[in-house]
Amino acid sequence: MIWDCFVYFALVAIVCWMVGAVAAWRQSGKVAIMATSLGLCVFAVYIAMMWMELERPPLRTMGETRLWYSFFLPLAGLFIYARWRYRWVLSFSTLMAIVFVCINLFKPEIHEKALVPALQSPWFVPHVIVYMLAYALMGVAVILAVYQLFFVKHASEKHGEATDNMVLVGFAFLSLGMIMGAVWAKEAWGHYWTWDPKETWAAITWFAYLAYIHLVRSSPRKHRKWANVMLIVSFCLLQMCWWGINYLPSAQASSVHTYSMQ
């Protein structure tokens, strides 16, 4: 079974990403970009193999979405590094990716072939991938917020600016994921928005990040501390939306979004 050889691909990818992270700290940009890209390629090959083996996109179970998450984190880190050359960003993204790879290694979820008819739609792949990308960016942003709040005495506004840029791009993806979900829901279930628990929590998350964006637009320096706190709260809300509702009594019975629990 394809899941059994995950460990080998994951190890190679992680080693590449770690090499990239170290290279970024040492300011050797080319090595950092090449090593990270190589790790991403290895990981992408595994995802492609899994896709072919399952005969459906591996996007349904929590384990599968974590797979994409651990792929998109270094990808997001790579883009940010390539654009702004922040030394720390690859270390963060690598660390987060390792955490998610480890969860998948030690707590893999059942992977079956069956895809219920509602999920057989051209919207399925872009909807989930865009959301995973948004989650990855928000993940990097929240780590930055924690770093500024608890680990730096006099945070320069440079970090704040990086956080804001990441949230902006993450928010754009969050919006696109939600819009695609709405259009898909209209095709599959007859209405674009029914306040299903997953949708309710998606709205909560969206408005929370919207509040952040509006807070930091005018005088970011003055409100940086509160903005960082907001980012941590927003990220917790995002977790509720992603997997938390699976454990929520009010959602369990009524949500049509609980495929991953089957």
Partner 1 sequence: MWNKPWSLKEGVAIGGGLVLVGLLLQLFAGPVDWDVFAWPVNVIVLSVLLLLLGTGFLLRKKLYAVQFLMSWKAVVPTLGYAVLLTIVMGLTWQVSSESEPADPIGFSKMLSFWPFVLVYVWIALMAGWVAIRQMAYFQFRCIPSLASHVGLFLLLVCGSLGSADMRRLKMYCEYEQPEWRALDSRQMIHELDWTITLNRFVMEQYEGEAVPKRFASEVEVVTRDGERVRATVEVNRPLTIDGWKVYQYGYDQMAGAGSRYSVFELVRDPWMPVVYVGLALLAAGAVGLFFVSRRSVAFEGEGVRP
Residue ranges binding partner 1 (CB under 8 A)? 112-118, 120-121, 161, 164-165, 168-169, 171-173, 175-176, 179, 182-183, 186-193, 195, 197, 200-201, 203-204, 207-208, 210-211, 214-218, 220, 237, 240, 245, 248-251, 254, 262
Closest CB 3 distance from partner 1, rounded Å:
18
Cα 261 from Cα 246, distance rounded (Å)? 7
Q: Which is nearer to partner 1, 156 or 218 (CB)?
A: 218
Cα 192 from Cα 156, distance rounded (Å)? 43
Q: Which is nearer to partner 1, 8 or 207 (CB)?
A: 207
Closest CB 15 distance from partner 1, rounded Å:
31
Chain position carrying tokens 């994921």: 177
Instruction: Compute, in degrees rounded to 10, the torsion defined by CA atoms 80, 144, 34, 19.
Output: 180
Closest CB 250 distance from partner 1, rounded Å:
5
Is the Cβ–Cβ distance between 104 and 67 less than 8 Å? Answer: yes
Other CB atoms within 10 Å distance of the CB of residue 86: 19
Cα 36 from Cα 67, distance rounded (Å)? 16
Closest CB 117 distance from partner 1, rounded Å:
4
Angle at 246 between CA 243 and CA 251, to 5 degrees: 125
Closest CB 208 distance from partner 1, rounded Å:
5
Q: Which is nearer to partner 1, 40 or 185 (CB)?
A: 185
Q: Which is nearer to partner 1, 112 or 225 (CB)?
A: 112
Q: Which is nearer to partner 1, 121 or 258 (CB)?
A: 121
Is the Cβ–Cβ distance between 159 and 147 less than 8 Å? Answer: yes
